[in-house]
Copies of this chain bind each other. A is one copy, B any other.
Amino acid sequence: MRVLGVDPGLTRCGLGVVDGSAGRARMIAVGVVRTPSDAEPGERLAYLETQLGEWLRRFSPDVVAVERVFADANVASVMTTAHATAIALLTAHKHGVPIVFHTPTEVKAAVTGSGRAEKAQVTTMVTKILRLDEPPRPADAADALALAICHAWRGSAAARVAALTPGGMP
């Protein structure tokens, strides 16, 4: 199964492509889409849409895995993340690729064995699992790869859970 992991954001949107099956994972590509915070919001979203479309065309993933965002104290940050998530939903739909959501806890548990693992531990495990020479930077790139690994390993079970989520909305 080929998974495109997306750590949604406008300033930095992490992207990672992984081929994987239970217990196995190979990195195909990793990157970060950056847009300047002083650019017009619509322009930033349009650029993200273009870049996501490029990745979908180039790597033809079977599924897109996105981090499910929860509201927290930083409302402005949650809103821009939600906007980036909407672009992922829209673009994946236009390319006919299903999209699934995983919580940060699910992702941490999948790659470290603990849903309460530190960010650094996630990066360390992603580096080991994918046998990379050095840790993916920035953290958004590592998080995108972790998402992709998480979904590839959870496989069809996660897809069934997503289908059962009321409304299916992130």
Q: Which of A77-116 touch B at CB < 8 Å?
A: 78-80, 82-87, 89-94, 99
User: A84 to B83, alpha carbons, bound, how many Å?
Assistant: 8
Chain A contact residues, majority secondary structure: helix
Q: Which of A38-96 touch B at CB < 8 Å?
A: 38, 40-43, 45-46, 49, 69-71, 75-76, 78-80, 82-87, 89-94
Residue A23 lies at the interface, judged by CB distance under 8 Å to chain B: no
- Chain A residues within 8 Å of chain B by Cβ, number: 35
A71 x B78 contact (CB < 8 A): yes
Residue A170 lies at the interface, judged by CB distance under 8 Å to chain B: yes
Provide the residues of chain B in CB contact with A80, threshold 8 Å.
Answer: 169
Provide the residues of chain B in CB contact with A85, threshold 8 Å.
Answer: 79, 83, 86
Provide the residues of chain B in CB contact with A170, threshold 8 Å.
Answer: 41, 79
B78 x A37 contact (CB < 8 A): no
Residue among B87, B93, B94, B99 making CB contact with A86, cutoff 8 Å: B87
Residue among B45, B75, B76, B82 making CB contact with A167, cutoff 8 Å: B76
A82 x B86 contact (CB < 8 A): yes
Q: Which residue of B lies closest to A92 (CB)?
A: B42
Can you offer 13 A-B residue contacts whose CB atoms are under 8 A?
A10-B169, A37-B167, A41-B89, A41-B99, A42-B93, A42-B94, A45-B86, A46-B90, A49-B90, A71-B71, A79-B85, A83-B83, A90-B90
Given contacts A76-B169, A86-B86, 12 further A-B contacts (CB under 8 A): A38-B167, A42-B91, A42-B94, A45-B90, A46-B93, A70-B75, A71-B75, A71-B78, A79-B169, A83-B86, A84-B86, A85-B86
